[in-house]
With several copies, the nearest count.
Chain A
C-alpha cells in the first residue's frame, strides 16, 4: 500500500491526528465541537468514532480546556486541544503564558507539559474583527512555547506529528482558508520529524523574502510576477517560528543583499521586526534597507473591500520586491 495519498490541508491534519491517536496511546483530543460533530471545519471528522472517549467535546471554557491540558500533560498524557480560533485563546492566555510555558523551566525539568494546541487564525472574507487577527507574535515573545504555522498539506501533517511528539508545549496555527483547498499529495508514515525548519518555495539571487502562514501563496504569486521582469526572489516560508531558522534567512540575505518580510499580521510589533533585527544585528551586508509588509496597523473590518485595503495584497508584495531590487 502506497504511503502517498491525495489530501486537502484539512484532510492532512485529520490524517495526522488519526496517526497520533493511533501511535501514542497517551494522546487525548478535545475541544469545542470536535468529537461528535467532527469540528466546525470538519477537520476532526471520524476521530471520535475511531478512538472513542479519548476524543471528546468540551464546554465553551477555553481556560478550563487549556488548564486541563497543562495538568493532563504534567501527568504524562499528550493532550491535543483545539482552540477554534486563535482570537479565542485570549480569554485564556494565562494558561499558555503563565502556566504551560513555566512548567519545565520552573520545576528544573522535573515536570513537563507535552501538550499541543491546534488553532487557526487570519482573515477570511467577511470575518469580523474578532475572528480575523494574526496573533503569532504574541506567542513568539513567550519563552517556553513552540510555534508552527504550516502552509502546505504536507507540512500541516508533519508539523502536527512533530508537535505531538515534542515534549514541550507547541501551538500549531493553521488557517481556515486553507482547509478546503485543492488536494495535494501527502507522504504519510514517515518517522516524526524534529521541530523546526522552513521551506524554500522559490530560489533567487536578488532578494530574500521571508514569510509564513497562508499569505505565503500571495508571496509566491508576487515572486512569479516579478520573475517575469527578471527579479529573482528567494522565498523562505518559515514553517516553524519557534524555533526559527535564523541561519537560513541570514544565509539567503548574505547572497541576495536584500530582505523583505511579509506576514498577514499587522506590522508594528509583528515577528517581521524580529526577522529584520536578526539579520541586521548579524551585520549581514545589505544593498537596500530591509522592508516589512503586513496588515496596516488597524483593526480588521468585516467588509471584504475594506479588509483588502488593510491586508497585504499580491500587487503590493510585487511592488515591494521591485522597489527593493530596482531602488
Chain B
C-alpha cells in the first residue's frame, strides 16, 4: 500500500478502535476510566511510521492509538481492556497502564509526566547495549508542567541520549486549557532553553509528523541527543468517557471536527485524485479488522483470579 494510504489506514484503525472501546465502555463490557485519542491519530501514525523494530515507545494513559500504531494487535489491546486472559497484560494493566514490549510498546503511564524519565532511561540503555534503539516519549501539553519532565529533558540533553520527545499539545489538561496554565504558550521554547532542538508542527497532518520524527530519529541515531516535537492537535472527544466537556467554548468542537486528521487527509487524497472506492476501502479494511478483533476478544476467557498474586517478584 502506498504511504499515504498506510497513514489513512493507521488513523482509521485507531479511530475505529477508540469508537469500539467507547461503545464497549458504555455497554459496561469495559469498566473504569478510559481516555480516548480521537482526533490525535495523526501523531501516533506519523511517528510510528518512522520507528524501527528496536525502538521503544513510552506513552500515556491516552495510549491505545500509540500501541496500535506500533503494531500491537487490536485484539490484545481490546482483550486487555475487556479483562480477558488474552489481554496484553492479562488484564493487569487495563486501559490506562498496559504495555506490550514484544512490539516495542513499553507502556502507557497513568502518572502525568512519569513516562518521560523512563523513556530517557531506555535511551540511556541504548548508549551501552549496541541496540541502535531510539526511544520515544509521548506526553501531553499539561505534562510540561510536571517537574520530572524538565528533569528528564535536561538529563537527555546533557548526556545526548537518543530520545524523541513528543508533546501532544491538544490544548487541554483534563478539563483545563493549557493557555490558562502557562504564560508562554510555545511549549517547545522550554526545550530550546535546555539546548534541545525543538519544532512546533501541525500534529493533525501525519506527513508533517512523519517528517519531524524522521529527522528527530536521525538526530538520535547520530548521537546528537534528544529532539523535541510539539505536535499541535485537538482531541474531539472528552478527556475521559463521560466527560461532558462543558469547559469548551462555543463552536470549538465544531471547528476541531473540521480540522481533524482523518477528514482532512481524506480531502487531501481526494484532491490528489485518489479514487473514492480506494479511500473508502481503507476505512472498510480497518473496520473489518477491528470488528474481527473485538469479536475474538469478547469470546476470550476472562482473567483468572487464581493468578492474581503471580509475578510480583521474580
A and B in direct contact, judged by CB atoms within 8 A: yes
Interface-facing stretch out of B41-49, B151-159, B275-283: B151-159
| Chain B contacts with A in 108-146, Cβ cutoff 8 A | 109-114, 116-129, 131, 133, 135, 142-143, 145-146
Determine whether the beta carbon of B155 is less than 8 Å from that of A59: yes
Determine whether the beta carbon of A303 is less than 8 Å from that of B101: no
Q: 0/1 per residue, A155-185, Cβ < 8 Å to B?
A: 0000000000011100000000000000000
Determine the distance from Cα of A40 to Cα of B99 in the docked complex, in whole angstroms.
Answer: 26
Could you list 11 A-B pairs, sorted by A, with CB under 8 Å? A71-B119, A74-B122, A106-B89, A109-B310, A110-B100, A128-B32, A297-B312, A302-B95, A302-B96, A309-B308, A310-B309
Determine whether the beta carbon of B114 is less than 8 Å from that of A67: yes
From known contacts A60-B143, A64-B154, A108-B89, infer whether A99 and B118 are also in contact, taking CB-CB under 8 Å.
Answer: yes
Is B176 part of the contact surface with A, judged by Cβ < 8 Å? yes
Is B97 part of the contact surface with A, judged by Cβ < 8 Å? yes
Number of interface residues of A (CB under 8 A): 78
Name the CB-closest residue of B to A58.
Answer: B155
Determine whether the beta carbon of B120 is less than 8 Å from that of A71: yes
From known contacts A33-B176, A59-B151, A67-B116, infer whether A310 and B312 are also in contact, taking CB-CB under 8 Å.
Answer: no
Determine the distance from Cα of A99 to Cα of B108 in the docked complex, in whole angstroms.
Answer: 11
Determine whether the beta carbon of B32 is less than 8 Å from that of A68: no
Determine whether the beta carbon of B152 is less than 8 Å from that of A63: yes
- CB-CB under 8 A from B99, the residues of chain A are 106-107, 110-111
Is B26 part of the contact surface with A, judged by Cβ < 8 Å? no
Determine whether the beta carbon of A302 is less than 8 Å from that of B313: no
From B30, B117, B129, B309, A75 is in contact (CB under 8 Å) with B129
From known contacts A59-B181, A92-B148, A306-B305, infer whether A126 and B94 are also in contact, taking CB-CB under 8 Å.
Answer: yes
Number of A-B contacts (CB under 8 A): 279
Is B311 part of the contact surface with A, judged by Cβ < 8 Å? yes
- CB-CB under 8 A from A88, the residues of chain B are 111-112
From known contacts A61-B147, A61-B154, A111-B99, infer whether A131 and B31 are also in contact, taking CB-CB under 8 Å.
Answer: no
Number of interface residues of B (CB under 8 A): 81
Determine whether the beta carbon of A67 is less than 8 Å from that of B121: yes
- CB-CB under 8 A from A299, the residues of chain B are 92, 312
Is A285 part of the contact surface with B, judged by Cβ < 8 Å? no
Is B83 part of the contact surface with A, judged by Cβ < 8 Å? yes
- CB-CB under 8 A from B101, the residues of chain A are 74, 107, 110-111
Seen from chain A, the residues whose Cβ lies within 8 Å of a Cβ on chain B are: 26, 28, 32-33, 36-37, 40, 53-54, 56-77, 79, 87-88, 91-92, 94-95, 98-99, 102, 104-112, 124-131, 143-144, 146, 166-168, 296-299, 301-310
Is B180 part of the contact surface with A, judged by Cβ < 8 Å? yes
Determine whether the beta carbon of B33 is less than 8 Å from that of A131: yes
Name the CB-closest residue of A to B141.
Answer: A60
Determine whether the beta carbon of B180 is less than 8 Å from that of A61: no
Determine the distance from Cα of A26 to Cα of B128 in the docked complex, in whole angstroms.
Answer: 8
From known contacts A68-B120, A128-B93, infer whether A63 and B314 are also in contact, taking CB-CB under 8 Å.
Answer: no
Seen from chain B, the residues whose Cβ lies within 8 Å of a Cβ on chain A are: 30-33, 56, 58, 61, 83, 87, 89-102, 106-107, 109-114, 116-129, 131, 133, 135, 142-143, 145-148, 151-152, 154-155, 158-159, 173-176, 180-182, 246-247, 302-303, 305-314
Closest approach, in angstroms, between the C-beta of B307 and any C-beta of chain A?
Answer: 8
Determine whether the beta carbon of B146 is less than 8 Å from that of A60: yes
Determine whether the beta carbon of B174 is less than 8 Å from that of A306: no
Determine the distance from Cα of A57 to Cα of B31 in the docked complex, in whole angstroms.
Answer: 29
Closest approach, in angstroms, between the C-beta of B116 and any C-beta of chain A?
Answer: 7
Determine whether the beta carbon of A302 is less than 8 Å from that of B147: no
Determine whether the beta carbon of A303 is less than 8 Å from that of B92: yes
- CB-CB under 8 A from B133, the residues of chain A are 75
Determine whether the beta carbon of B313 is less than 8 Å from that of A68: no
Determine whether the beta carbon of A302 is less than 8 Å from that of B174: no
Determine whether the beta carbon of A28 is less than 8 Å from that of B97: no
Determine the distance from Cα of A302 to Cα of B34 in the docked complex, in whole angstroms.
Answer: 12
Closest approach, in angstroms, between the C-beta of B312 and any C-beta of chain A?
Answer: 5
From B125, B142, B311, A60 is in contact (CB under 8 Å) with B142
Determine whether the beta carbon of A303 is less than 8 Å from that of B176: no
Determine the distance from Cα of A64 to Cα of B173 in the docked complex, in whole angstroms.
Answer: 17
- CB-CB under 8 A from B120, the residues of chain A are 64, 67-68, 71
Determine whether the beta carbon of A108 is less than 8 Å from that of B128: no
Determine whether the beta carbon of B173 is less than 8 Å from that of A32: yes
Residue from A71, A296, A299 having most chain B Cβ neighbours under 10 A: A71
- CB-CB under 8 A from B89, the residues of chain A are 106-108, 110
Determine the distance from Cα of A238 to Cα of B98 in the docked complex, in whole angstroms.
Answer: 36
Closest approach, in angstroms, between the C-beta of A190 and any C-beta of chain B?
Answer: 21
Closest approach, in angstroms, between the C-beta of B136 and any C-beta of chain A?
Answer: 12
Determine the distance from Cα of A127 to Cα of B31 in the docked complex, in whole angstroms.
Answer: 8
Residue from B33, B97, B126 having most chain A Cβ neighbours under 10 A: B97
Determine the distance from Cα of A130 to Cα of B110 in the docked complex, in whole angstroms.
Answer: 6
- CB-CB under 8 A from A77, the residues of chain B are 124-125, 128-129
- CB-CB under 8 A from A68, the residues of chain B are 117-118, 120-121, 124, 152, 155
Known: A58-B181, A104-B313. 11 other contacts (CB 8 A): A36-B175, A37-B246, A53-B127, A64-B120, A67-B148, A77-B128, A104-B311, A128-B32, A131-B33, A302-B95, A306-B307
Determine the distance from Cα of A168 to Cα of B91 in the docked complex, in whole angstroms.
Answer: 21
Name the CB-closest residue of A to B61.
Answer: A128
